[in-house]
C-alpha cells in the first residue's frame, strides 16, 4: 500500500487509508503464496525480490505525506513483515529484500539509518534473520557492478570530487559491488548469518558493448 511513496509514476493502486493493508494480505501476498507453495513447484528454487524502493523511501523521503503514512500502521514495515512471514513458510522460496542502490543509500547517514530500519524490520519477523536469503540492489537502476577505472570517489576532476557529479550525487560508492559488500558486512555485524547473499540488477547499467571504456578518462570535465 502507498507503493513507491515518493514517485509520481508508481504510486500504486492500494491505499493504506482505504484498507490497502488487508487487500495486500488477502489479494496480493495470498495469491503469490498459493502459487509458489504448490507442491508441484517444490523442486524449484524460487527467488522473491521484496518490494523494491519501499523501505528505502522511509529512510530518505519521510517528508512526503504518502511516505509518512507508509511509515505507520499497515504501511511498508507491516506489509513487508507479512510478506516475509508468509513466504518463509515455503522452504524453496528465497526472499531478497530491496536496499535501493549505492546512489540512494550510499551516503554515510543514509546507509547507517537504512541498516537500522531495514535490519530491525526483518529481525522482527516470525523467523527473524532466517526469513531472508539476502538483499537485492540496483533494481532497474544504472550503477555498474564494478568501476575498474574509477576507484577513488574523492578524485578531483575539474576542481570537484567525482562523487559530487550529478550521476553519483555524493555517494561514497562508485560501484555497486563495494556498496553491497559494505551492506552485507553491516548486516552480519547486526546479527544476520554469514550465509547472506546479494543480488545486483545489471539490466540497465550500460557497462558493456563495443564502446566499453578501456582505461581511465583524461577529461577535465566532471
| Separation of first and last alpha carbons in the chain | 40
Continuous segment of H or E residues that includes residue 96: strand 93-98
Grid cell for residue 51: 518490494
Q: Is 53 a catalytic residue?
A: yes
- Catalytic annotation, pick one of 4, 53, 66, 201: 53
Strand partners, 47: 94
Give the span between the Cα atoms of 149 and 164, in whole angstroms. 17
Grid cell for residue 81: 513483515
At 80 the three-state DSSP class reads helix
Q: Which residues, including other chains, have CB under 8 Å from residue 75's CB and lie 6 or more apart?
A: 1, 2, 16, 21, 69
Give the span between the Cα atoms of 99 and 183, in whole angstroms. 9
Give the span between the Cα atoms of 27 and 176, in whole angstroms. 34
Residues acting as catalytic residues: 53
Amino acid at each position: 500500500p502507498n507503493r513507491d511513496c515518493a514517485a509520481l509514476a508508481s504510486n500504486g493502486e492500494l491505499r493504506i487509508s482505504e484498507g490497502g493493508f488487508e487487500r495486500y494480505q488477502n489479494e496480493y501476498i495470498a495469491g503469490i503464496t498459493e502459487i509458489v507453495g504448490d507442491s508441484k513447484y517444490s523442486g524449484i528454487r524460487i527467488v522473491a525480490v521484496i518490494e523494491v524502493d519501499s523501505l528505502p523511501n522511509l529512510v530518505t523521503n519521510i517528508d512526503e505525506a504518502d511516505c509518512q503514512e507508509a511509515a505507520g500502521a499497515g504501511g511498508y514495515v507491516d506489509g513487508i513483515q507479512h510478506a516475509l512471514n508468509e513466504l518463509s513458510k515455503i522452504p524453496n522460496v528465497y526472499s531478497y529484500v530491496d536496499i535501493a542502490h549505492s546512489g540512494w543509500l550510499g551516503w554515510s547517514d543514509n546507509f547507517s539509518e537504512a541498516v537500522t530500519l531495514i535490519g530491525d524490520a526483518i529481525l522482527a519477523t516470525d523467523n527473524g534473520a532466517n526469513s531472508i536469503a539476502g538483499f537485492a540492489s540496483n533494481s532497474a537502476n544504472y550503477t555498474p557492478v564494478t568501476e575498474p577505472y574509477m576507484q577513488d570517489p574523492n578524485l578531483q576532476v575539474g576542481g570537484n570530487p567525482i562523487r559530487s557529479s550529478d550521476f553519483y550525487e555524493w555517494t561514497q560508492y562508485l560501484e555497486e559491488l563495494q556498496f553491497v559488500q559494505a551492506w552485507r558486512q553491516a548486516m552480519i555485524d547486526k546479527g544476520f548469518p554469514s550465509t547472506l547473499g546479494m543480488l545486483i540488477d545489471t539490466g540497465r547499467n550500460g557497462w558493456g558493448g563495443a564502446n566499453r571504456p578501456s582505461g581511465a578518462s583524461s577529461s577535465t570535465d566532471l
